[in-house]
């Protein structure tokens, strides 16, 4: 019950982009409606966390059927990335990555780890295999 209250508080302060996924075999599952906003628009991304994940996964939505899921672990030295709109930035040494996980600025020189996303029964399944 307290979890529900917490979610409501987060929504109120505009930080509702971080959600907790559920595990379904080796998939991290989130309802596809988490991208929907009250005004009929869609969020550009959500950050999905789970107690079993060391790093959260940032999921970008490009269309109803097109998503990218990126591990928020910097490929330079492993710091957790932060999301700024359509890019991710590393607070440690400033590397930047695109919304598809490509390196835009070093010192990192490797793209982010990405996971395939499929849609089933109004759920996004992020394959962590």
Which residues lie near ligand FES (CB under 6 A)?
Answer: 74, 76-77, 79, 90, 92-95, 107-108
Pairing of strands 27-31, 22-24: antiparallel
3-state secondary structure of 10: helix
User: CA 114, CA 99: separation in Å to the nearest integer?
Assistant: 11
Residues in the chain: 129
Min dist. Cβ of residue 53 to ligand FES (A): 18
* Residues 14, 50: Cα–Cα separation, whole Å: 20
Shortest reach from residue 106's CB to ligand FES, in Å: 8
Q: Which is nearer to ligand FES, 74 or 125 (CB)?
A: 74
Q: How far is CA 59 from the centre of its chain?
A: 3
- Toward ligand FES, which CB reaches closer, 66 or 109? 109
Instruction: Give me the torsion for CA of 26, 60, 14, 93, rounded to 10°.
Output: 90
Q: In the 8-state DSSP scheme, what is residue 34?
A: G
Shortest spacing between CB 6 and ligand FES, in angstroms: 30
Nearer to ligand FES, 17 or 76 (CB): 76
Q: Is the Cβ of residue 10 or residue 92 nearer to ligand FES in the bound state?
A: 92
For residue 107, the minimal CB distance to ligand FES (Å) is: 5
């Amino acid at each position: 019950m307290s979890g529900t209250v917490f979610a409501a508080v987060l929504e109120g302060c505009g930080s509702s982009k971080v959600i907790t996924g559920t595990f379904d075999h080796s998939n991290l599952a989130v309802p596809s409606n988490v991208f929907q906003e009250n005004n009929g628009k869609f969020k550009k991304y959500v950050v999905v966390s789970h107690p079993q994940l060391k790093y959260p996964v940032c999921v970008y939505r490009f269309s109803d059927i097109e998503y990218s899921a990126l591990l928020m672990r910097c490929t330079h030295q492993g710091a957790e990335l932060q999301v700024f709109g359509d890019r991710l930035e590393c607070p440690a040494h400033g590397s930047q990555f695109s919304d598809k996980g490509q390196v835009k600025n070093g010192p990192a020189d490797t793209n982010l780890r990405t996971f395939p996303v499929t849609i089933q029964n109004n759920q996004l399944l992020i394959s962590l295999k």
